[in-house]
Structure 1
Amino acid sequence: MKIYIDVLVITNALISLIYLQCISRIVHQKIPALREAAACALGGAGSLIAMIHTNSFGGALGVTLGKLAVISAVIITAYLPENFSAFIKRLFLYGLMEVIFGGCCFMLINLTHSRIMYMRNYVMYFDISLLDIGICSAMLYVMIVIYETVQRRKAAAHKKYRARYTLGRYEITLPAIADTGNCLSDSFTGQPVVIFRSDDMYRQYELDIPERMSFYGFHPIPYNTVGGEGLVYVTSKGEVTISCGKSMKRVLCCVGIIASGERSQCAVFNPCLLT
């Protein structure tokens, strides 16, 4: 089969984009557009290992290590993992998706004897035109948008949410509001932020004293949500659990705290965290 490098690189860049979007939803970490584009470009460029032809064990080992290096570079570029365990988790998820996708393609190749799919050195090649790639990508994007819209409306249909924050022996539970406008992400970890509007939490961590704020691991970032706008003090410490009736879900996120003042205490979260 004749392999066209442009089709090879573009299709694998799109596959990398799909993997990264799936992982982002699993770990609840938003990827900045520039880093996502760079990671996809690396994934596409890494597909060039399909051009290597080897029949020796050493060559196969080199190709395998090369593929692992490409995946590692994609993960680091996209997520900038804060520690080794976070890197390993994302590396495992990316590898798992490679195995599932590659396995499905391999099965289709053998069952249908398709001539448009070709697998070599852990890389899939689709013998289709760039126009077909564009059409398929557009259809996939529309499907993703429809799915997210349905999930957000489904989540927003429930009115009585509660959010519990736990850190050590301290625990507080507040009424919660599902707000699709809360797209706030922590600038250090990239994780979404659940905003707790509570004087109790504000006093607990002494957020009006800069020295104590740093001691507890908080840093200020600007925000804008249904409760207003200003500065919110964010930390990655602690656990957040959102419940609705009998259903409960621990969400992977950062926590932002602002004083409630004369307003009622509540938490504000993006319903995407529940999907």
Structure 2
Amino acid sequence: MTQTIYVDILFAVNLFMNFFLLLVTARLAHQPYKRLRLLAGAALGALFSFVILLPELGILFSIATKAVFSALIVLASFHAASFKRFLKLYACFFTVNFAFAGIAFALWLFVAPPGLAMGNGAFYFDISPLLLVVTAAAAYLLLSLFHRFFQKGAPPKSIYDLTVTVEGRSVTLRTLADTGNSLTESFTGSPVVLAEYQSVRELLPDPVRPAFQNASAACVRLPEAWQRRYRVIPYKSVGANGLLPSFKADEIVIHTKEEPVTVQGAFVAVSDTNLSSGEYRGLMNPQLLPMK
């Protein structure tokens, strides 16, 4: 029986699936991400799905092509600070893809649902827009549950030295990596470092400091360069919630026992109260730490 493949559905479904797989990769690898970059990588993956329209290429050629495109997708989707970090992201993305491919193949082999086609390592689902929206909601729920499950196995509370750099100026502060800290930047979903004001004060130009000293001063007019850096991040804690002023760092280096971990463009939220009695000056979301 001949399978009719609609190019718009082929692209849309694979765009969604690749975006979801990249989200899973980012969460499992504790990799900060930007949604627009994930969307660009997902679009590249969706273009790869057009190989299903070609004559059968052979399994070895299909695997090689998939491997090359996976590397390009990872490069387009994430900022890898080192080649080693890229390899970890690539291995994670390839593993997630392999697992999804196994599920899809099993579905195709044992259930053979109507509208499902496979070829040259690509998949096609003839799916309605409504079902796609429902599937997206279900996938998001599964991702959240999956992430919480893996978060339980995160490293225990540990102290790390962090070097934060902004406009050529750097400070180093001791931070506690705590699995209870799930603070993220709302738009990008990137993990956030929470720091005491005094520990990052030297990074803030004089006109900017009032906006970080207390919540009531958040309406201070900022210089144009800092308008792009500044964010207000909502938080919730036991018996309290509110907003934290934050800034986008150029670079954060986490000094681990193995090797320094460099994170580009992460956000630092600023607290006007002490976070400890002196043992540490910041709290770090453990998702900033690389996958072991």
Change (3 A) 1:110 1:145: closer
Post-superposition shift, 1:92? 1.4
State the Cα deviation string for residues 150-196 of structure 1 (Å, max 9, x = none): 999x9xxxxxx9541158xx9967696945545399x9xx9634345
Q: 2:51 — aligned with what?
A: 49
Q: Give the TM-score taking structure 2 as reference length.
A: 0.60
Tell whether the 8 Å contact from 2:246 to 2:270 is kept in structure 1 after alignment. Answer: no
Q: 2:30 — aligned with what?
A: 28
Change (3 A) 1:150 1:177: closer
Residue 268 of structure 1: which of 266, 278, 283 is its match? 283
Tell whether the 8 Å contact from 1:117 to 1:125 is kept in structure 2 after alignment. Answer: yes
Matches within 5 A, 1:48-127: 48-54=50-56, 61-127=60-126
Tell whether the 8 Å contact from 1:192 to 1:253 is kept in structure 2 after alignment. Answer: no
Tell whether the 8 Å contact from 1:196 to 1:256 is kept in structure 2 after alignment. Answer: no
Tell whether the 8 Å contact from 2:191 to 2:287 is kept in structure 1 after alignment. Answer: no
> What code does the residue aligned with 2:11 have?
V
Q: 1:19 aligns to what SS in structure 2?
A: helix
CA distance in 2, matches of 1:123, 1:258: 42
> What code does the residue aligned with 1:5 have?
V
CA distance in 2, matches of 1:61, 1:28: 31
Matches within 5 A, 1:1-275: 1-54=3-56, 61-144=60-143, 162-165=157-160, 178-183=180-185, 192-197=191-196, 229=245, 235-239=252-256, 263=274, 264-265=277-278, 266=280, 267-270=282-285
CA distance in 1, matches of 2:99, 2:31: 22
Post-superposition shift, 1:88? 1.7
Post-superposition shift, 1:16? 0.6
> What code does the residue aligned with 1:65 have?
A
Post-superposition shift, 1:120? 0.9
> What code does the residue aligned with 2:160 have?
Y
Structure 2's unaligned 5+ residue stretches are 163-171, 204-225, 236-242
Aligned CA RMSD, in angstroms, stands at 4.6
State the Cα deviation string for residues 197-222 of structure 1 (Å, max 9, x = none): 497x88xxxx68xxxxxxxxxxx975
Change (3 A) 1:30 1:104: same
Change (3 A) 1:25 1:63: same
Tell whether the 8 Å contact from 2:247 to 2:267 is kept in structure 1 after alignment. Answer: no
Tell whether the 8 Å contact from 1:232 to 1:257 is kept in structure 2 after alignment. Answer: yes
Q: 1:249 — aligned with what?
A: none
Q: 1:243 — aligned with what?
A: none
CA distance in 2, matches of 1:118, 1:3: 8
Post-superposition shift, 1:137? 1.6
Change (3 A) 1:268 1:125: same
Q: 2:209 — aligned with what?
A: none
CA distance in 2, matches of 1:70, 1:87: 14
Q: 1:236 aligns to what SS in structure 2?
A: strand
Post-superposition shift, 1:113? 3.5
Change (3 A) 1:32 1:259: closer
Q: Give the TM-score taking structure 1 as reference length.
A: 0.64
Structure 1's unaligned 5+ residue stretches are 155-160, 209-219, 241-251
Tell whether the 8 Å contact from 1:182 to 1:224 is kept in structure 2 after alignment. Answer: no
Post-superposition shift, 1:135? 2.4
CA distance in 1, matches of 2:269, 2:36: 30
Tell whether the 8 Å contact from 1:117 to 1:126 is kept in structure 2 after alignment. Answer: yes
Q: 1:81 aligns to what SS in structure 2?
A: coil
> What code does the residue aligned with 1:12 have?
N
CA distance in 1, matches of 2:104, 2:131: 18
Tell whether the 8 Å contact from 2:51 to 2:120 is kept in structure 1 after alignment. Answer: yes
